A = this chain, B = another copy of it.
Amino acid sequence: MSDNNSTPDPNDIGLLEGLHTTRAIRRYLPEPIPEEHLRDIMFAATRAPSGSNRQPFRFMVFTDSERSKEVKSLIARGAQTLWNEKRKVDGYEDTSVDDTSPKARMARTMQQYVDNFADVPVLVLAFLVRYRPPTPTEGASVYPACQNILLAARALGYGGVLTGFHGFVENELRSLLNIPENTFIAATISLGKPAGNHGPVRRVPMKDVVFADTWDEGASWAIDPSGTAILSRGGFSS
């Protein structure tokens, strides 16, 4: 398995390998993403499925314009607000935690992510234009496209994260961008070229979440490939 820092040759990464190894990337080099790469990334987004192929997804892509800087700064405030809450509620401030523990490392990564959020190379907002009242399944028509963005970024040597940071500054954002009322802001995605080293994807064992005929009973074949990194739930890891 190659890591996210590998040379950006799209032909190098197979589809299955890409799916198995894409992780969240929260530290970026201060480099822009060229427009031809943005095009390939957003083209992938628009290939995603949606209910009845209605294609209710919309995207706004912010790079280095004045407007982009305003949007990034605004959402950076949302990021700070969320992280300040989370640090308290989820015990990231517990000083008894070993400084080298995954949790302590994660706290440092998140802190630098939100501290530098206004300078992320690219910020994508994903939207859903509603044609009916909100339903829990409506995300099926926008989040597959968000996942395509993260995977296409990976194919081209970039990385990113799907966040809900906009939620803390939503009113300001709607008015700044003239977002129509029937339109749901589904995600804030940051993208850029990975800086530094990134660990593997960490998840609970497959058998904990993949069942066959019986709820909560791991399928017999649901066995992680050897060498898979395991992490318990929560912790923002990857």
Chain A contacts to B: CB under 8 angstroms:
10-22, 24, 35-36, 38-40, 42-49, 51-55, 57-63, 65, 67-68, 86, 90, 134, 136-140, 142-144, 146-148, 150-152, 154-156, 161-162, 164, 167, 177-180, 184, 186-187, 201-204, 206, 209-215, 219-225, 231, 233-238
**Mostly helix, strand, loop or mixed at chain A's interface?**
mixed
**Given the complex, which residues of B lie within 8 Å of A220, measured CB to CB?**
35
Q: Given the complex of chains A and B, what is the CA–CA distance between A72 and B105 in angstroms?
A: 45
Contact present for B61 and A233 (CB under 8 Å): no
**Given the complex, which residues of B lie within 8 Å of A204, measured CB to CB?**
46, 55
Q: Given the complex of chains A and B, what is the CA–CA distance between A203 and B56 in angstroms?
A: 11
Q: How far is the CB of A18 from chain B (nearest CB, A)?
A: 3
Interface centre among A42, A67, A212, by most B CB within 10 Å? A212
Contact present for B162 and A144 (CB under 8 Å): yes
Contact present for B10 and A11 (CB under 8 Å): no
Other 13 A-B pairs with CB < 8 A, given A46-B206, A140-B164, A144-B147: A10-B15, A18-B18, A19-B47, A21-B47, A24-B49, A38-B221, A47-B203, A52-B235, A54-B233, A59-B209, A136-B186, A137-B186, A144-B146
